[in-house]
Structure 1
Amino acid sequence: MPSQKQDDRTGARSSWMLCPGCRRLVFHRTLARTRGVCADCGHHFRLPAPQRIEQLLDDGSAEPLDFRVETADPLGFVDSTPYPQRLRRARVATGLAEAVLCVRGRIGGNPVIAAVMDFRFMGGSLGAAVGELVTLAAELALAERTPLLIVSASGGARMQEGALALMQMAKTAAALSRLDEAGVLTLSLVTDPTFGGVAASYATLCDVVLAEPGARLGFAGSRVIRQTIGQRLPEGFQTAEFLLARGLIDGIHRREELAGVLGRLLATATPAPPPAPADGGLIRDCAQLPAEPSWDVVQRARDVNRPSTMDYIGSVFEDFLELRGDRAGGDCVALLGGVARLDGAPVLVLGHRKGHTAAELAAHNFGMATPAGYRKAMRLMRLAGKLGIPVITLIDTPGAFPGVEAEEQGQAGAIAESIRLMATLPVPVVAVVTGEGGSGGALALGVANTVLAFPSSTYSVISPEGCAAILWGDPAEARRAAEALRPSARELLSLGVLDAVIPEPAGGPQADHRAAAGALRRALRDALADLGPLGPGELIDHRRRRFRAFGLDSWEESSRGAELTA
């Protein structure tokens, strides 16, 4: 819990603290019971590193790492107080040797190396000793191939060490890059405050960046910005909530949730066998599918009662944890992604997000992703590639968002980059068209080893309305365009665009969500079991050969499909 304040008149320790959030007095024993969180307003008080470790790690698992690092005074720095004297005061006040504690332990039973900062020690400033300790923790994580957790709390680089403090940003960044190369998971927990050199190095370079409510994160603090350039700052500037809305962190979690969330993330780094095949009864012969008017299939694919990506995530997967943001200033409400488990095995799930009501559809931009959405997807796919876990995409979009802002932000380039990245992922990739598969906005999640679809779904180069407007000069000719485009699963299977079709309940997935989810689960298990024996290079080669085959031979396949339609 937070330290008690000393009464200026008596010298005794006060039993009460003033909450910065609601300005009410809080009894220190109450804070101890609530993990240092105000019960009235939810303000998260700062925690000393030892208490942070006690709260996050499994009981009795924390083992201090005996990294012997000395803090020097390279500049002989003196302001109002000589630097060595400041260090001595910080050590006496905190009982710590430096502003970071390093331990080995477990969270949720999963092994972890943790470097936990303490703001009480000279504002958690980043000096040579702190940089060395964080680097040593990273190097131990690399040697043991154990995930690394960094808990940050810092005002920035330590001015008393001059340029040597600045160099710690590069030193720690290089250490994290080695973990990236080795496929070792890195997690960052941002606490209040995290600024300057720490924010611009290891606090934001980890695979997943989480924050406590209200935690502030930024390179230059608000006071520096105001005093330097006189700029007016937005409400809630640099808070975790501000950052989440702008795609700069993955999530915000209250203190009582953190251990569970971190444990679930650490579990994704634990190898697990792929799901066993489930005899999903996949349809591989288009003759087994009924012929029906393409326009009718289009209407069923667009039915708002069909299961959404969130519906499937809730019923097909376990332990889904959403990860947000493209880390470049944007998040996308139309594209959802995160880690989950399929029959106990870790997977990465991505999908277009729609909804079942007009309000939900509008809130999720009708499933039309922006460049930030595709960049978020790429960031998460790279994480899956690093950790060696399969990627599953659920496609249901009329197309990528065509608005002015999307064009200004590079919509075409984002889609192109996503397509290229998917061609090179060294892990199994399975894509499922669950509703509409519209144009490049769908293909950006569709470059997979195995591409599946429900019978009442569609996949096309353009919407029937768009095709009719361009070629017939009249959107009202959409029915005619649909018959010409042949976007149904039956036709796509005949063309080889789909590898197989998932059996669906009578009336389509919208008629029985539970049955559709069960069919999808079995289909995914079968697909991943088939891909399981392939190594990284074989998976990439398999995917490239699959899409290399779409060429002149497609005309022959198209002719056969036309005979079936006739």
Structure 2
Amino acid sequence: MTATLTAPVGKSWLLCPGCQTLLYHRRVERNLGVCPECNHHERVTAHQRIEQIFDTDSVEELPPVGASGDPLGFVDTRPYPHRMEGARQRTGLDEAVVCVRGTVEGHALVAAVMDFRFLGGSLGAGVGERITRAAEEALATRTPLLLVSASGGARMQEGALSLMQMAKTSAALGALDAAGVLTISLVTDPTYGGVAASYATLCDVILAEPRARLGFAGPRVIQQTLRQPLPDGFQTAEFLFARGMLDDLVPRSALRATIGRLLAFAAADRSAPGAAVTDDVVRDAEALPDDAAWDVVARSRDLGRPTTFDYIGHFVDGFVELHGDRLADDCNAIVGGVGILDGRPVVVIGHQKGHTVAEVADRNFGMGTPAGYRKAMRLMRLADKLGVPLVTLIDTPGAYPGVSAEENGQAIAIAESIRLMAGLTVPVVAVVTGEGGSGGALALGVGNRVLMLSNATYSVISPEGCAAILWNDAARADEAAVQLRLRARDLVTLGVVDGVVPEPAGGASADPGGTAAAVHRAVTGALAELAGADREELLAQRRARFRRMGGRTDG
């Protein structure tokens, strides 16, 4: 809501269309066009949006291109050229998008910002050409691209030429993918049709304002076609976020900071090797504790152990969590995002449990669903596209074994994740921080360097599951733990892990901060070891590492 868009009551007051509250218009302006009572986000103009996001005095508008003309000679109640002229006079714009370059928190950005006031932000040849040129500017300068969408869809008055802009803009984004340039989409209200089905949903990161609507077909069309009621909140950002389609919901007041963190990640020096450190990693099995296997299992499951978010909070700066598998769901047992580790950009993915029974239950006990592994794969591909290291933190009793997981392809998701990790061309460091349970752990564990904490475990099955299957008696889990050789000492001997991070006296639960510091040093050291290798060497080294596992030794 802004004073320029909402009819004033008298000279100084506005009526919020969301909650019908009478508001002082300067208060609304200071709040970036958001109702302070109900959080209703009113539409803003393209230039207002640019002013809200970019650094002051940093913006330069990209050279305009000619309008698309009237290729069809289209007439409805008015000739198309008359409609275009009316839109120009009402808005002061010559098309439905404004393209600029500038900085956000000091980091370079190219942006194409749509304005719904101009023929409903419809996608015509003029809009498609400008967005494509903005993408080409981002490609030429290797600058991240931001696309702010606000559109009713393709422009009918330009017929099939309008339709072709979906392919044109999508191809332009594909070129940025191939070049390793970060792309960000900001979905605002409304975003429909050809825009939703092209550049608005093809970016690396998709953000949305609260209550923004996004969809291919509008709700009226769906209702008239199917003759059935729609779910509450249908096509809102909240509805789609819960179904894994968006990376995050970001209120307008936080947009600038969120985009700034993403740009800081993209701008960090990818070639920086990081400071070489003297880590504490133990690579000699005989130097490791020979504790009872069942005691180690109990320690690996202690709720006081640091979680993935604890580790991220300790040593990843400017972290932005990314959500959703872009298919059907999000999974809060597997989390991930982007940030900066000791000055270099990283993608971090990990299993997330919690420190209380309620937290662990809410996180599904750290057991990933197919959506979780597909989300992880999306972030792996992002790391590979941008050429940044991947760090994974493993702590799971195993992948979720429920009916819904099987219905949604749990085995396929795990298999695809393992294969994808094996083929990445960036440094990958995996750390087992607690339980390393079966394929659910390995799906995040195909690294160039695989480390584990001294009281962590890594096994093909849980001791209870092994005992139940082999002896039909889960109570013999302590015996199974010994037979499975799941301790750090055993796994170094077997060559499954490359080294072990010692835990402080009393274990990770007794000193979470000290444990996080040790993992930080170990990860930094592993990345420093891998820094000199090129992409093909990293790929070959990782494949060779796993090729050796269980190979014949009898000549």
Pairwise TM-score range, normalised by the shorter structure: over 0.9
Mapped contact 2:396–2:435 kept (Cα < 8 A): yes
Q: Residues 100-499 of structure 1: matches in 2 within 5 Å?
A: 100-272=97-269, 273-499=272-498
1:228 CA displacement = 1.4
Distance change in 2, residues 1:39/1:554 (3 Å): farther
> What secondary structure does 1:331 align onto?
coil
Cα distance in structure 2, aligned partners of 1:307 and 1:292: 21
Unaligned regions of 5+ residues in structure 1, if any? 557-566
* Residue identity opposite 1:111 in structure 2: A
Aligned with residue 98 of structure 1, among 95, 100, 104: 95
With 218-227 and 361-370 compared, the bigger mean Cα shift is at 218-227
Cα distance in structure 1, aligned partners of 2:69 and 2:315: 56
Distance change in 2, residues 1:465/1:209 (3 Å): same
Cα distance in structure 1, aligned partners of 2:226 and 2:67: 38
Distance change in 2, residues 1:60/1:371 (3 Å): same
Query: For 1:490-548, what per-residue CA distance to the aligned partner results, in whole angstroms no more than 9, with x for missing partners?
Result: 10011111101112101111110110011011111100000000111110001000000
Cα distance in structure 1, aligned partners of 2:150 and 2:355: 42
Query: For 1:85-127, what per-residue CA distance to the aligned partner results, in whole angstroms no more than 9, with x for missing partners?
Result: 1111110111001000000101111111100000000110001
Cα distance in structure 1, aligned partners of 2:182 and 2:73: 39
1:554 CA displacement = 7.3
Cα distance in structure 1, aligned partners of 2:5 and 2:535: 55
Mapped contact 1:196–1:218 kept (Cα < 8 A): yes
Mapped contact 1:438–1:460 kept (Cα < 8 A): yes
Query: For 1:135-162, what per-residue CA distance to the aligned partner results, in whole angstroms no more than 9, with x for missing partners?
Result: 1111111111111100000011111111
Query: For 1:349-408, what per-residue CA distance to the aligned partner results, in whole angstroms no more than 9, with x for missing partners?
Result: 100010111111110000000000000000011001111111000000000000001001
User: Corresponding residue for 2:544?
Assistant: 545
User: Corresponding residue for 1:559?
Assistant: none
Mapped contact 1:134–1:172 kept (Cα < 8 A): yes
User: Corresponding residue for 1:49?
Assistant: 46
Distance change in 2, residues 1:16/1:166 (3 Å): farther
Cα distance in structure 1, aligned partners of 2:36 and 2:481: 58
Distance change in 2, residues 1:447/1:555 (3 Å): farther
Distance change in 2, residues 1:336/1:555 (3 Å): farther
> What secondary structure does 1:498 align onto?
coil
Cα distance in structure 1, aligned partners of 2:553 and 2:150: 58
Mapped contact 1:467–1:481 kept (Cα < 8 A): yes
Mapped contact 1:298–1:458 kept (Cα < 8 A): yes
Q: Does 1:3 align with 2:18?
A: no
Cα distance in structure 2, aligned partners of 1:174 and 1:13: 49
Mapped contact 2:67–2:95 kept (Cα < 8 A): no
Give structure 1 regions of 4+ aligned residues with deviation exceeding 4 angstroms. Answer: 4-7, 12-15, 553-556
With 76-85 and 442-451 compared, the bigger mean Cα shift is at 76-85
> What secondary structure does 2:339 align onto?
strand
With 174-183 and 275-284 compared, the bigger mean Cα shift is at 275-284
Query: For 1:19-43, what per-residue CA distance to the aligned partner results, in whole angstroms no more than 9, with x for missing partners?
Result: 2221223333222111101011111
Query: For 1:35-72, what per-residue CA distance to the aligned partner results, in whole angstroms no more than 9, with x for missing partners?
Result: 10101111111010001001101111100001322221
Mapped contact 1:434–1:454 kept (Cα < 8 A): yes
Cα distance in structure 2, aligned partners of 1:389 and 1:330: 26
1:316 CA displacement = 2.2
* Residue identity opposite 2:328 in structure 1: G
Q: Residues 55-94 of structure 1: matches in 2 within 5 Å?
A: 55-94=52-91
Q: Does 1:37 align with 2:34?
A: yes
TM normalised by structure 1 equals 0.95
With 307-316 and 367-376 compared, the bigger mean Cα shift is at 307-316
Cα distance in structure 2, aligned partners of 1:142 and 1:496: 44
Cα distance in structure 2, aligned partners of 1:247 and 1:319: 23
User: Corresponding residue for 1:560?
Assistant: none
> What secondary structure does 1:349 align onto?
strand
Query: For 1:329-352, what per-residue CA distance to the aligned partner results, in whole angstroms no more than 9, with x for missing partners?
Result: 111010000011111211111000
Mapped contact 1:6–1:14 kept (Cα < 8 A): no
Distance change in 2, residues 1:4/1:333 (3 Å): closer
Cα distance in structure 2, aligned partners of 1:472 and 1:485: 14
* Residue identity opposite 1:114 in structure 2: A
* Residue identity opposite 1:197 in structure 2: G
1:555 CA displacement = 9.2
> What secondary structure does 1:384 align onto?
helix
1:443 CA displacement = 0.2
Mapped contact 2:72–2:158 kept (Cα < 8 A): yes
Query: For 1:196-220, what per-residue CA distance to the aligned partner results, in whole angstroms no more than 9, with x for missing partners?
Result: 1100000000000000111111111
Mapped contact 2:454–2:501 kept (Cα < 8 A): yes
Mapped contact 1:251–1:323 kept (Cα < 8 A): yes
1:312 CA displacement = 1.2
Cα distance in structure 2, aligned partners of 1:139 and 1:543: 35
Q: Does 1:521 align with 2:504?
A: no
State how many pairs are aligned. 552
Cα distance in structure 1, aligned partners of 2:465 and 2:276: 40
Unaligned regions of 5+ residues in structure 2, if any? none
Cα distance in structure 1, aligned partners of 2:525 and 2:553: 27
With 410-419 and 27-36 compared, the bigger mean Cα shift is at 27-36
